[in-house]
Structure 1
Amino acid sequence: MPKILAKDMCVKLSGRRIFGSETILSNVNFEIKDGDRLALIGPNGAGKSTLMQTLAGILEPSSGMLEIEGEINALFNVGLGTRKESTGRRNMLLRNMVQGRSYKEVKDKLPEMIDFADIGEYIDRPMEIYSQGMAMRCVFAAATAFDPDILLMDEWLGAGDAGFREKSAKRMEELVEKSGMLVLATHHQRLSRDMCNLGLYLKKGNVAFFGDVGEAWDRYIEEGLRKED
């Protein structure tokens, strides 16, 4: 059964723009289980993206514990790992094999991915010549080909033409229904209230509230109103 458990988790980052290291997430504690739908909310810079990248395995906790059970599909950066010099077909294969799928398993799914992307003969041409819309179609088709235990999702689905947005939105709804758990980083209150049962309100890298999604939003909005007074 899928599960995510974070206990006293901290994430520190360092780089050329940071002198030494900077703590982005501090003492993060929460647990979600099979069937839970978690909305990550908070202002820009609160640590939502860092938490998503940590859950996806792109970043590692600096201290504390993060325990994840189940297969993860991260849809907040569908183009991550794309090789522009390779064809769309090959990128579909590589993306899913990197996720741990066997060559045969992915190859059997290829016709479905190619049909969904619907970019014609360009599927066998290098992605470096693709338009942004064509690239989005290709990587989205590959990223959503399999049903995950845990779905990590960000609000990036505005790309592409109207027809593709409608088709991708329908597939996302199906994925959410089939996945064991959902973690959604969002600024949209109505979307998360309708889709999620739990909310994690992050503020300056700390958990300001974890619990019912409605109460999480109430806390967030109340604090925002107090700042405006």
Structure 2
Amino acid sequence: MVSIQVRDACVDFPIFDAKSRSMKKAVLAKVGGKIGTDARVPIIEALNAITLDLRDGDRVALVGHNGAGKSTLLRLLAGIYEPTRGTADIHGKIAPVFDLAVGMDPEISGLENILIRGMFLGMSRKQMLDRVDDIVEFSDLGNYLNLPLRTYSTGMRVRLALGVVTSIDPEILILDEGLGAVDAEFMAKARGRLVDLVKRSGMLVFASHSDELLFELCDTAIWMDGGRMKMHGSLREVLTAYKGRDPFEYMSAETLERLGEST
């Protein structure tokens, strides 16, 4: 049974060579939390007292400002970080997607990277070979797929990576949005595949600043602030508390209609 159970989990990062406040601030901006002051070695308290139960079928959004601890929590839930204190028990096959470029080699072709990226995400070589034609059609990169990845633009790399990511069958999908480089037309094409990917996954935890995309993929949310869970509830309620107004008030009528919602 797919599940994630976290109890009073904390994640701390010691900074052994912090010689200035500017360095501490730079690190803090990347991992969230706060800087501990009661130790000889500065400690970044990236997550503090996280308690959470997730089950098969959960579709959870992570919201909060940059540095609030969203990415650190994703890595804890993916099993990449172990809690400094507390526990995190994870059951299920995890597909962590934090950086679309991770697992791709710039010196080999796009076609070869399809296989490597897929296996990096837990698929077998045979499974990826069965998906190659679909990924090729989706990415629409033509003959570029026979060229080294280093010859691709950033947008082309994102298109290829999205094709691979949205072809897998994860039990637990941990997703950190990195879709900014893709053009609007292709993003519209990719949304349908993202929705299908989420439907195939047993569980989704998704950090994003796009309210529209969150409403398409999630139904509950966690508001992270200073490395702590400030609120956990329905997506609309959490976004309303986080942003200070109902998100449906600033979404277009077209978007609300597509989401099947109304004000």
Alignment of structure 1 residues 62-73 onto 2, 5 Å: 62-73=84-95
Equivalent pairs counted in the alignment come to 223
Candidates 44, 47, 52, aligned match of 2:69: 47
2:55 match: 33
What is the identity percentage for the equivalent residue pairs of Structure 1 and Structure 2?
Answer: 37
3-state SS in 1 of match to 2:164: helix
1:149 match: 171
Candidates 133, 138, 144, aligned match of 2:155: 133
Moved more, 61-70 or 152-161: 152-161
Amino acid paired to 1:180: G
Change (3 A) 1:3 1:52: same
How far off is 1:189 after superposition?
4.3
Alignment of structure 1 residues 74-85 onto 2, 5 Å: 74-85=96-107
How far off is 1:191 after superposition?
4.6
How far off is 1:34 after superposition?
1.3
Moved more, 119-128 or 149-158: 149-158
Name the CA distance, whole Å, in 2 between partners of 1:61 and 1:81.
Answer: 25
User: Aligned pair 1:113/2:135, yes or no?
Assistant: yes
Structure 2: 5+ residue stretches without partners: 18-22, 25-40, 245-263
8 Å contact 1:158–1:165 — kept in the other structure? no
Which structure has more RCO (C-alpha within 8 Å, separation ≥ 6)? 1
Q: Which has the larger radius of gyration?
A: 2
3-state SS in 1 of match to 2:83: coil
- TM-score, normalised on structure 2? 0.75
Name the CA distance, whole Å, in 2 between partners of 1:137 and 1:218.
Answer: 32
Structure 1: 5+ residue stretches without partners: 223-229
8 Å contact 2:123–2:168 — kept in the other structure? no
CA deviation vs aligned residue, 1:118-163 (integer Å, no higher than 9, x gap): 2112212111111112111111111121122222233333422333
1:226 match: none
3-state SS in 2 of match to 1:22: strand
- TM-score, normalised on structure 1? 0.85
CA deviation vs aligned residue, 1:158-191 (integer Å, no higher than 9, x gap): 4223332121111111112222222121334455
